[in-house]
Amino acid sequence: MKRASDCLSDGFKNRASLLLSRRGNSHLRLQEPKAALRDAVAAMDLGDRRAAEALAMEALRDLGKDEVVSHKILEPVGCGRILDPAAPLVLRCVDRWTADVLDHFSQLSADSGEELPMPVHMPSDRYLDGLDEETRAAVIRKYIPQEQFGGTGLVSNAAECIDLMKKWEEVFSGPDFQCKRKALWDRRDLSFPARMKETRTMVAESLSKVLEPMGYAPGRPGLARCVKQMQAF
């Protein structure tokens, strides 16, 4: 089905949803709830919400999530918002999103009011589909050998840049960042170059929850890529 040219047709989506639901059921019987959840979410996003939702709820139950949290997780699923529309059977983006959401609710309750992580679609998912992690990493190292990999995140216009700056401002004005900044400033054992290096690391770590869901690499490489893109606007 990945070779089909009609991936936007209803017939394609119906067949893909059915196959994914059945594969998800098989994963569940094999006691692989994360794989079952991935397939169920993909089936729901292709339009088969009613049939696949029960499978997703059962997988989440096996993963230790109660009914309230499970419904909260599945709220945004549907109408092609999680899958990459250009490659709806490449499920790496679904794996990434479900991992982010499960981690999100391991730290927060369903009524916390925090927004769920956004799905991230990377072009590399399409091109490197079917490769294991070690092979993917080797390909990336081969073709980007000169500098640390900054990820695949993208700031493509001035409006996105402004929105991102507002999110940064929220982080920098928050009590957690201000406390870290003061603690760093109060240290007397650092030279000026060492202080600047520690400051860059602190900023990168503080912005990780903003940048990593967008596809930027963890730490300073991701921050450097993002800053370089923002400078254009």
Span 72-120, pLDDT tens digits:
888 888 867 788 877 888 899 899 899 988 888 887 666 666 777 888 8
State residue 47's pLDDT score.
79
Residues facing residue 216 across a β-bridge:
151
Q: What is the pLDDT of residue 38?
A: 94
**pTM over 0.85, yes/no:** no
pLDDT value of position 145 = 58
Beta bridge pairs of residue 151? 216
What is the identity of the amino acid at 54?
A
The DSSP call for residue 119 is: P
- How much is the pLDDT for 162? 95
Does residue 61 surpass a pLDDT of 60? yes
Instruction: Select, from the ranges 151-160, 189-198, 205-214, the one with the highest average predicted confidence (pLDDT).
Output: 205-214
Residue range 37-63: average pLDDT? 89
- Distant-in-sequence contacts of 187-192, Cβ < 8 A, 24+ apart: none
pLDDT at 180: 92
89, 45 in Cβ contact below 8 A?
Answer: no
- What are the extents of the domains in the chain? 10-127, 158-230
Reported as a single tens digit per residue, the pLDDT across 149-163 is 788 888 989 999 999
Q: What is the chain's mean pLDDT, rounded?
A: 87
Please determine, for residue 148, whether its predicted confidence score (pLDDT) is greater than 90.
Answer: no
Mean pLDDT (whole number) for 60-81: 86
Q: Return the pLDDT at 12.
A: 87
Q: How sure is the predictor about 41, in pLDDT bands with cuts at 50, 70 and 90? A: very high
What pLDDT does residue 182 have? 92
Q: What angle do CA 28, 110, 102 make, to 5 degrees?
A: 40
Name the band, by pLDDT with cuts 50, 70 and 90, for residue 146.
low
What pLDDT is attached to residue 37?
95
> What is the pLDDT at residue 13?
86
Give which of 160, 180, 171 is closest to 209, Cα–Cα.
171
Confidence band for 48, pLDDT divided at 50, 70 and 90: low
- The answer for residues whose C-beta is within 8 angstroms of residue 123's C-beta and 6 or more apart is 152
**pLDDT attached to residue 113:** 67
Residue 159's pLDDT is 92
